[in-house]
Amino acid sequence: MRKFGMIAILFLLLFMTACSSGASSSDEYPSKNLEIVAPASPGGGWDLTARSVENVLSGQSLVEENINVVNKPGGGGEVGWKYLESKDSHSLAINSSLVLTNNLLGQSEMTYEGFTPIATLATEWQSLAVPPDSEYESSKELLEAIKEDPASIKIGVGPGLGNDDHLSLVQAASEFGIDPSQLNFLVYEGGGDVVTALLGGHVDAVTTSLSEVKDQYLADKLNILAVSSDKPVEGIEDVPTWGDQGIDLVFPHWRGIMGPPDMTEEEIAYWDEKLSEMVETEEWQEVLENNDWEGFYKNSEETKAFMDEQHNLYKTLIEDSGLIK
């Protein structure tokens, strides 16, 4: 009897060990090196976001596995996001509104719904700026002039129509009762070229990221008529928001992070935990301050709802702008 009892105990121990081993292997995530895809060349906003996330997660030991930043430039994010589609849950990618507008503009077959929303991380705000000697002292004065004769007001934007710089003013114009398709946009290579055109007197106003004009504003080289934030921006509290001027508009220029299709609830929960810890660190707050970004964190569930909301907004704005019929 003692022999059979020992055998039974041995089988029980082996069974428990197997169950324990199976549970740990299924719950073991991440189980290898991680990568964050920056869908652009080194040096741009997507690359900076990816490297900032990696630096804080690794530097603060929030994630034990090695994290590598991989640059996959091309196609306004298309190349990097196409690469992500074929990867497993150990790869994530930085995104922005282009993951929505590329499809809405007919430039990509990929949609945001083909990926796993992980988080929204930070935002810049949009601005409307004019030369320091402009006759327009408020956004409402400028919009009134545009409403009276849209073709007479030249507006600089870059690097193309359909981006946040463009669509933020499309929304403002629409809220003001202007047909956005009548706006007279001159398209430049990028934000720096847009500001150069403004300072050179080639355009009457520019719509661009606040970071492109903030220093010039502080140096009295131009005037900012409105920012797209919901409250005054730190350091330039005297610049009014659109809302301050009676125009119902809050327009974030956000960046977030997404995963490949079909990530599990456990994998998503892992990143909810790690990224929610990351955005509370002093090191992340320094990243925001150093880059004139503002914290805009949303977890995976909030990001899914936000992306649905943004998709509907961008679809309306792109149609209103006349870019698609």
> What is residue 24's predicted lDDT score, i.e. its pLDDT?
32
The residue whose two tokens read 């990143």 is 271
Which pLDDT belongs to residue 191?
A: 84
Q: Fold match between 34-122+253-321 and 125-245?
A: yes
Q: Which residues pair with 69 in a beta bridge?
A: 36
CATH number of 34-122+253-321: 3.40.190.150, 3.40.50.150, 3.40.190.10, 1.10.287.3510? 3.40.190.150
DSSP of 192-233, one letter per residue? HHHHHHHHTTS-SEEEEEHHHHHHHHHTTSSEEEEE-SSSPP
pLDDT for position 324: 87
Report the predicted TM-score, pTM, of the whole model to 2 decimal places.
Answer: 0.87
Cβ–Cβ under 8 Å, residues 174 and 153: no
Distance from C-alpha of 86 to C-alpha of 249, rounded to nearest angstrom: 38
What are the structure tokens assigned to 242, written together? 């659109």
| Residue 224, amino acid | I
Distances (CA, A) of 224 to 58, 139, 149, 236, 244: 38, 9, 22, 10, 14
The CA distance from 61 to 81, in Å, is 27
Helices (H), 96-138: 98-104
Residues 297 and 120 sit within 8 Å (Cβ to Cβ): yes
Q: What angle do CA 30, 119, 160 make, to 5 degrees?
A: 125
Distance CA 318, CA 47 (A): 27
Fold observed for domain 125-245: D-Maltodextrin-Binding Protein; domain 2 (3.40.190)
Q: Which residues fall within 8 angstroms of residue 20, CB to CB, at 6 or more apart?
A: none
- Determine the Cα–Cα distance for residues 33 and 66; give it in Å rounded to an integer: 5
Query: What digits encode the pLDDT tens for the residues 98-140?
Result: 999 999 999 999 999 999 999 999 999 999 999 999 999 999 9
Q: In the structure encoding, which two tokens stand for residue 142, read together?
A: 């400028």
The domain limits of the chain are 34-122+253-321, 125-245
Q: Do 117 and 93 form a contact (C-beta atoms < 8 A)?
A: no
Return left, alpha or beta for 22; rule: phi > 0 is left, psi -120 to 50 is alpha, else beta: alpha
Q: What are the mean pLDDT values of the chain's consecutive 10-residue runs (325 residues total)? A: 46 44 56 97 93 98 98 95 97 97 96 98 97 97 98 96 96 97 95 94 97 96 98 96 97 97 98 98 97 96 98 97 88
* In contact, 102 and 76? CB cutoff 8 Å: yes
Tell me the C-alpha distance between 41 and 44, whole Å: 7
Cα–Cα distance, 192 to 187 (Å, whole number): 12
Q: How far apart are CA 202 and CA 216, in angstroms?
A: 17
pLDDT of amino acid 190: 82
